Structure 1
Amino acid sequence: MADHIDAYLAWQEAAGRTPATVDESSPFEGAGDADRAAVGAAVDDLRPELEALAVALHDDPETGFDEHRSVRRIADLLAAHGVEAEVGAFGLDTALRATVGEGDGPHFAVIAEYDALPGIGQACGHNIIAGIGVGAFLAAAPLVARRGGRLSLIGTPAEENGGGKEHIIRAGGFDDVDAAGMVHPAGGDEVSSIVGQRTTGVRRVAVTYRGRAAHAAGAPWLGLNALDAVVTAYQGVAQLRQHILPIDRVHGIITDGGAAPNIVPERASALFYVRSGEVDTLRALTDRVVAVLEGAAVSTGATAEIEVDPVPPYLPLEANVALTKRWAATIRSRGRAVPAPPLVPAQGGPSTDMGNVSRYVPSIHPSIGLGAPAGVQPHNAAFADATVRPAAFAAMADAAAALGAAAIDYLADARLRDAVSEEFAALGGRFRWEG
């Protein structure tokens, strides 16, 4: 427990490292207005194809690591514009990589996601993320030869369920990347660049309890109830929630509760998500949850098989301020207001494996509202419907133009690159999860 409190005190100290509010204007020239306008015009020309891609991904959703048709649609669109893509990159069947430019200059990676949620399809808007990424890449690509450097589109599978970006990091896919960016859809109409944006990190903890089967009516004394262990564990986690940090969340489900009511369950399982706003507090909270699961085994006499990180952990995201401001400058030029919210680390909330990328290379992860009806947010079936409406397509085009411009700004402006690198180094530099 002391380690948990120490980690929280460190988080509180970090919360004060930046003013409560910040000016989101950018002091860097970037590539210049003419090049940014060229990117925006190219996105507008591409818009019918990007909309068709978003609709196709919506109508034919595929879940993580099974996005074979989805990634092929992206590769085919790139090929139609003369860009060859590698499908099956980084040892992942449904990952993609395409690169334009050459030499040893700066390298910016545009990130695309395209996996869907089980049962509710593109309810996190990854079809829009794909359209934004492809549009930004294709629109900026013609300027790279003139400006120098390299620009890549990296298609990352299984954001929802498998940590595709971490797998790509482990395969060396970001080793030669200097900065990266993507844009995520949100509900409503608001743009959120959130300089210094944070998300929570998440780890999965799976547990299987094993007991002994018996006739639940005829001889229950011969049994050892594994479901009792799961229920005890679930209740223990619920009690733990009273005493976790404001930046923590824990939630779980029972994945196996036994075979039949008249059989004492000899096997039962649960899966928990452990979230926190800092790497150290994420480790500490995971240890506390594991202790609860072990205690449930002791109290019920069952044995516990605990698996921590069956999926790679998603790290808390740390968005680069200098680079985010360049994105915000262009999205404003497309007529969208960008509020300047208070800058505070995440206190609960969702997670993304883009957090892992942000700890490995300087990254941005702004969001843009799709004009969804009031109360409709990601991970709701109605949000999937919102991704194929005119307001969503307009947001997709604006976000793609801003992301492509941010990439060109980065490649063209050495002062901006220096500021991005210095900020990244001041926050600890390249970090990779080692368990």
Structure 2
Amino acid sequence: MNIRLDEKKLFLDRIRQSLKKLNNLLSLSKIPLQLAAADGQIMVELNSSPDFCKRICQSDPDHMCEDYHKRCVITGDTITRFTCHCGLYNFVIPISTRAAEPPLFLLGGQIYEEQCLHHKYMLPVGQLAASKNLTPEEVARSVGRIQSMAQAQITTYERMAQYIAHNLTEDLKTTDTHTNRLSLEKEILERKIIDLETKNSFLVVNPHFLFNTLNTIARVAYYEKSRKTEELIYCLSDLLRYNLKQDNELHPLSEELENIKKYLYIQKIRFKDRLEYEINIPDEMQQYRIPNMILQPLVENALLHGITPKCDGGRIRITAKKQGNDITLYVSDNGYGFPQEILDLIADGDFSRIKTQAKSGIGLLSTHNRIQHYFGASYGLTVEQSDFSGTTIAICIPIRQ
């Protein structure tokens, strides 16, 4: 169905207004979701597609792949599930619109089921690279970033996508569903809160009991002459004690660095020669005061998403620079960098929508918000560099002594 440009703009505006009302639902979804027209054009990208799908499977970033396209048929509100030619799990949900407007489809999935994860390692990387004029390394990295998920999780997100599709259908056909949508969002959020509270209740352990137990184990290791085990346990105990600080006071940077050293020491035992690290901050800067635990999420991000994916490991470097009345702390790694869609979200300051690396998103968002809470909107977190040579994240804060 053809639609004039001015009508298309109005139609897109209505879609975006409807999606704004669904933000609470969308924020809970952890899988790629796109809204597309029957002609294959992607109207709105709700949650970003994997880099692999955009670069390898789609003819261009603005159109769905052929596997999706041939399944975009109006069949009531029935969900269509399928596995694409690359082994990824996908689904399509029709969205009915007014007679004069083109039908829409909610596309979701683009992930590997855990029981089918072997398909990920059977892809002809060299052949795909040649067909798209890419290097095998680029294709391999794209494949490595595709999510995998248990079927129970997929089912949960499918149901959420069906709720979203249903509300979009009702909203694009009429405007008399605002109350129902709010009720639905409230129900889902309440379930989410109850679920989190239930999980958290199992994590509550008396800290004194925990530290005393660790110290007891460390002493046993000492008497058994397991010196490295003893040292690891004491490092873990110190890490937990520092991490549990809940005060709003500023602490010397030296304390944060000592905590980071213990964390990296433990990881070094785990990764051996695959991890190297360097902390190079002058002693006079280490007396400046900062909120606790603002470097830890960045170092953990560098380790998990920069160093771990590399077969030969890599290096993490922590440095600092004084600029007038401010200090900038840098955490660098020589990993593969963030995907472009993540960089775009960070450039927009939209840390909370980082879904393909959820843990990174939570850590970056929390750190950025805490810095601005302490020091104001002029300070915070920025990504100085992120490409195939590595990532550098900077934290700018005012000098406090």
User: TM-score, structure 1 length as denominator?
Assistant: 0.25
**Structure of higher RCO (CA pairs closer than 8 Å, 6+ residues apart):** 1
Larger relative strand fraction:
2
Larger relative helix fraction:
2
User: TM-score, structure 2 length as denominator?
Assistant: 0.26
